[in-house]
Chain A
Amino acid sequence: MSAASPTPAAPASGAPHATVANALASEWLKLRSLRSTWVTLGVAVLLGVGLGVLIAHLVAGLYHQHRPAAVVNWDPTAISLSALGIVQLVMAVLGAMAVTGEYSSGMIRTSLTAIPCRGRLMAAKSATVTLTALVAGEVIAFAAFFLGQLAIGGSAPQASIGDAHVLRALFGAGLYLAVIALLACGIGFLVRSTAAAISVMVALLFVLPAILSALPLSWSEVIDEYWPTLAGAQVYGVIWRNPQHSLTAWAGFGDLCLFTAIVLVAAYWLLRVRNA
């Protein structure tokens, strides 16, 4: 590490102008150059496909013992995707860590000196995380579906990709995971700490729906139908567990998107006014 001449080379370019594309390229490099990103995505795929196939195999083995009512609601697509309940948390970790990791290391200050427009930095980071989660989510959905149907084998009716709503459910599964990662990203910008962001996501995904369902029936039905993560999850179901619900699959997903948008707007506003 000898002291080299500090004279830098000629200026990089004539009239430098950083664009949104530059910000996206930078954020994509930042995301893929961290080992934790690949570990998280690996865990998501392993859990989503492996656990999905295992559950499909076990549940299919019990199919002949089912009562008629259960047989009517037999949804081989949903069964093969049942690991999404856990995978969504892994995606939330991916989204949250992309933001809060920078806050815990102090990297966010370096990032904001490189991209001082806070909206641009937030948009680039959110878009990168969301697209990554979308690709991983679709891989998980399709792999879990096809391998899951193989695992069901001859023990129970299988779904085929051409069946009604199946393609929608599979694309919906990837979209759902992507929006969960985006939501976690927004929560990360809001609370700026990994532990807090993941706690909030656990509360939103698991704890609050469970607690609120203990409310009187008139309330719990509304929450059951409109709670953003529950409503959003409809998009990857072929047969919805409660036929009384009026939200269609896409309307439920819209509910989740609306909630996520509100979180992102709040996070953007705070990012602008807070000291980095």
Chain B
Amino acid sequence: MIVAEHLSKHYGKTKAVDDLSFSVLPGRVTGFLGPNGAGKTTTMRMILGLDNPDSGVATVGGRRYRDIPAPLTQVGALLDAKAVAGGRTARAHLDALALSNGIPRKRVIEVLRLVGLEQVAGKRVGGFSLGMSQRLGVAGTLLGNPGTLMFDEPVNGLDPEGIQWIRQLMRSLASEGRTVLVSSHLMSEMALTADHLVVIGRGRLIADASVEELVGSSARSVLVRSRDDAALATRLTSAGAATKPAPGGGLVVTGMPSDRVGEEALAAGIPLEELTPQRASLEEAFMELTRDQSEFATTSAAIGPPGSFAAGVVGGDSAGGGRAAAGSGPAWPPERRS
């Protein structure tokens, strides 16, 4: 179990982590999610005692990492797969790690086989591909058979087979009752791997919830298509819902669950053609949560509507047309479903 309590850390004037508290429980994969620069790596480094927090404390199994007598037997962490001395062989690299924590050397052979690197055990690490380095890093985390594992962006740069392997590995580690924390900036990746999510943005906690809860919380609208949208809109509005025309025809209803929308339509005698709850994908839920939180947000407004620049420059007779197009054409950026 990993516990972060009121962790804060700044580099110069940048607050990398700001009063961050969360717990990572055993037996499930916890995704540590946030845009680039949100403070995920910094938080993991503080958990490992590599960076000193300005304030707050992080513990693993109730102890600060630095106070664990043989840490590799309690915590396996992979922050940067390329952070190894390229001149050493895979075997020597793992041997040195094993020796430092009193782990039997035969365990090195076992983990090399486990990650599928036994064929290249005697090769220098410097010549490894990123995928092989990731596997070597994973071998290092498993060396001490620890109860807690941490991976920072483990699928970055992996081929599909490697990604599949990492996913299976993390799921099976969690199913053995281990604590597994995996950081990623890709919500879609976490949707496939994680059971629970800790979402941060600009160093602050945004959400600490299960994947279902996060997706559920943003499933707030219903798309409905009927023979008579206008009549249905009136009916639903009077029943307390808000409606607006959906882009491809039909209505987007908010403030009312889909079953109630169906009931209202039946009561009004309006035949329905489609009734779809708009479940936000995890990706959308994440975007929703971390909007304004990513450190380097782009402003899509600055790009403007397609063609608007050209229309403006042509001028003359078409100047008015350009304005009209900007006003009545499809809104840009497209209206957000909410």
Whether chain B is bound by chain A comes out as: yes
Q: Are A114 and B117 in contact (CB under 8 A)?
A: no
A19 at the B interface (CB under 8 A): yes
Residues 131 to 176 of chain B near chain A (Cβ within 8 Å): 132, 135, 140, 142, 144-145, 161, 164-165, 168-169, 172-173, 176
Q: Which residues on B sit within 8 Å (CB–CB) of A17?
A: 69-70, 102
Q: Are A8 and B111 in contact (CB under 8 A)?
A: yes
Interface residues on chain B, number (Cβ under 8 Å)? 59
Interface string of B74-114 (1 = CB under 8 A from A): 01010110111111110010011101111110010011011
Q: Which residues on A sit within 8 Å (CB–CB) of B172?
A: 5-7
Take A34-B88, A116-B71 as given contacts and tell me if A3 and B100 are in contact as well, using a CB distance cutoff of 8 Å.
Answer: no
Q: Are A12 and B142 in contact (CB under 8 A)?
A: no
B294 at the A interface (CB under 8 A): no
Take A6-B169, A114-B72, A276-B51 as given contacts and tell me if A29 and B96 are in contact as well, using a CB distance cutoff of 8 Å.
Answer: yes
A224 at the B interface (CB under 8 A): no
CB distance from A96 to the nearest CB of B (A): 15
Pick the residue among B66, B102, B110 that contacts A13 (CB under 8 A).
B102
Q: Which residues on B sit within 8 Å (CB–CB) of A16?
A: 69-70, 73, 101-103, 144
Q: Which residues on B sit within 8 Å (CB–CB) of A114?
A: 71-72, 97, 100-101
Q: Are A105 and B45 in contact (CB under 8 A)?
A: no
Q: Are B176 and A4 in contact (CB under 8 A)?
A: no
| Bound CA–CA A154/B48 (angstroms) | 65
CB distance from B5 to the nearest CB of A (A): 19
| Bound CA–CA A25/B111 (angstroms) | 20
Residues 18 to 72 of chain B near chain A (Cβ within 8 Å): 45, 48-52, 65-66, 68-72
A218 at the B interface (CB under 8 A): no
Select from chain B the residue with minimum beta-carbon distance to A11. Answer: B145
A117 at the B interface (CB under 8 A): yes
CB distance from A97 to the nearest CB of B (A): 10
Take A2-B116, A107-B85 as given contacts and tell me if A113 and B77 are in contact as well, using a CB distance cutoff of 8 Å.
Answer: yes
Q: Which of A5, A12, A33, A113 has the most CB of B within 10 A?
A: A113
Q: Are B165 and A3 in contact (CB under 8 A)?
A: yes
Q: Are A26 and B73 in contact (CB under 8 A)?
A: no
CB distance from B179 to the nearest CB of A (A): 15
A106 at the B interface (CB under 8 A): yes
| Bound CA–CA A207/B132 (angstroms) | 45
CB distance from B78 to the nearest CB of A (A): 9
Q: Are B169 and A19 in contact (CB under 8 A)?
A: no
Q: Tell me the number of A-to-B contacts counted with CB atoms below 8 Å.
A: 149
CB distance from B168 to the nearest CB of A (A): 7
Q: Are A116 and B66 in contact (CB under 8 A)?
A: yes
Q: Are A36 and B87 in contact (CB under 8 A)?
A: yes
| Bound CA–CA A99/B173 (angstroms) | 34
Residues 220 to 276 of chain A near chain B (Cβ within 8 Å): 273, 275-276
| Bound CA–CA A195/B169 (angstroms) | 41
A212 at the B interface (CB under 8 A): no
Q: Which residues on B sit within 8 Å (CB–CB) of A11?
A: 73, 145
Interface residues on chain A, number (Cβ under 8 Å)? 45
A1 at the B interface (CB under 8 A): yes
Pick the residue among B83, B135, B168 that contacts A109 (CB under 8 A).
B83
Select from chain A the residue with minimum beta-carbon distance to B86. Answer: A105
A101 at the B interface (CB under 8 A): yes
Q: Which residues on B sit within 8 Å (CB–CB) of A101?
A: 85
| Bound CA–CA A261/B78 (angstroms) | 35
CB distance from A258 to the nearest CB of B (A): 30
| Bound CA–CA A107/B133 (angstroms) | 13
Select from chain B the residue with minimum beta-carbon distance to A108. Answer: B83
Q: Are A22 and B102 in contact (CB under 8 A)?
A: yes
A18 at the B interface (CB under 8 A): yes
Q: Which residues on A sit within 8 Å (CB–CB) of B77?
A: 113
Q: Which residues on B sit within 8 Å (CB–CB) of A217?
A: none
| Bound CA–CA A116/B164 (angstroms) | 32
Q: Which residues on B sit within 8 Å (CB–CB) of A10?
A: 145
Q: Are A7 and B176 in contact (CB under 8 A)?
A: yes
Q: Are A275 and B101 in contact (CB under 8 A)?
A: no
Q: Are B49 and A12 in contact (CB under 8 A)?
A: no
Select from chain B the residue with minimum beta-carbon distance to A104. Answer: B85
Select from chain B the residue with minimum beta-carbon distance to A17. Answer: B69
| Bound CA–CA A22/B105 (angstroms) | 12
Q: Are B87 and A112 in contact (CB under 8 A)?
A: no
Q: Which residues on B sit within 8 Å (CB–CB) of A67?
A: none
Select from chain A the residue with minimum beta-carbon distance to B100. Answer: A26
Select from chain A the residue with minimum beta-carbon distance to B42. Answer: A275
| Bound CA–CA A17/B48 (angstroms) | 18
Q: Are B107 and A105 in contact (CB under 8 A)?
A: no
| Bound CA–CA A36/B70 (angstroms) | 29
| Bound CA–CA A192/B120 (angstroms) | 31
Q: Are B49 and A6 in contact (CB under 8 A)?
A: no
Take A1-B135, A29-B99, A106-B80 as given contacts and tell me if A117 and B66 are in contact as well, using a CB distance cutoff of 8 Å.
Answer: yes
| Bound CA–CA A1/B69 (angstroms) | 34
Beyond known contacts A3-B169, A12-B103: 15 more, CB 8 A cutoff? A1-B117, A3-B164, A3-B165, A5-B172, A6-B169, A12-B107, A16-B69, A17-B69, A17-B70, A29-B92, A33-B95, A105-B85, A110-B97, A113-B48, A113-B49
Q: 9 closest A-B pairs (Cβ-Cβ)?
A: A106-B83, A26-B100, A33-B92, A1-B116, A16-B70, A26-B99, A18-B70, A3-B165, A16-B73
**What would 28 A/B residue contacts be, using CB atoms closer than 8 Å?**
A1-B117, A1-B132, A1-B135, A3-B116, A4-B115, A5-B172, A10-B145, A11-B73, A12-B73, A12-B102, A12-B103, A13-B104, A22-B100, A25-B99, A26-B100, A34-B85, A102-B85, A105-B83, A109-B45, A113-B49, A113-B50, A113-B71, A114-B72, A116-B66, A275-B45, A275-B50, A275-B52, A276-B51
